[in-house]
Amino acid sequence: MTGKLIAAVALAASMAGAGTVLAGHGPGFPPPGMDGGAGGGVLRMAAALKLTDAQKSRIKTVLDDEREEAGPLLDTMREKRKLLQAAADATTFDEAAVRSIAVAQARAETELIVSRTRTQSRINAILTAEQRELLKNLRPVPDKRPLPPDAGD
């Protein structure tokens, strides 16, 4: 049960990084304190938000729902990435096939974003106003992120 709870809280915390999808990592993902390790970051995040047992249980249910919905979409994303790589490795270019794969991949990514955002909204409804503020303050400020080394060129 502890392992499932840790995974559930990790997913909840990762969903705080708006603008990313479950299939990839974007700027500020994962949030501070959620840098992996042996569950230490997850436990720190749950402690920082001071989640009650009831909140943990409700969030776990929300995340289980998300996992069910996102699983097939993530599988689709992986499949489409493989197909795009195969198209790139081919000796002849089939633009129509690449466009078709890209459209399917975009649909799956759109559904992942909608699902993740819906899940974050459901989790926000479980948190108290103070917990939502704490979570917001744990997120990186988009304009304060350091630029990549080659961005200044």
Ranges in the chain, pLDDT < 70: 1-45, 139-147, 151-153
DSSP 9-72: HHHHHHTTSTT--TTS--TT-SPTT-S-TTTHHHHHHHHHHT--HHHHHHHHHHHHHHHHHHHH
DSSP state of 145: S
CB 145 within 8 A of CB 113: no
Q: Which of 115, 40, 37 is nearest to 76 (CA)?
A: 115
DSSP 78-122: HHHHHHHHHHHHSSS--HHHHHHHHHHHHHHHHHHHHHHHHHHHH
How much is the pLDDT for 12? 46
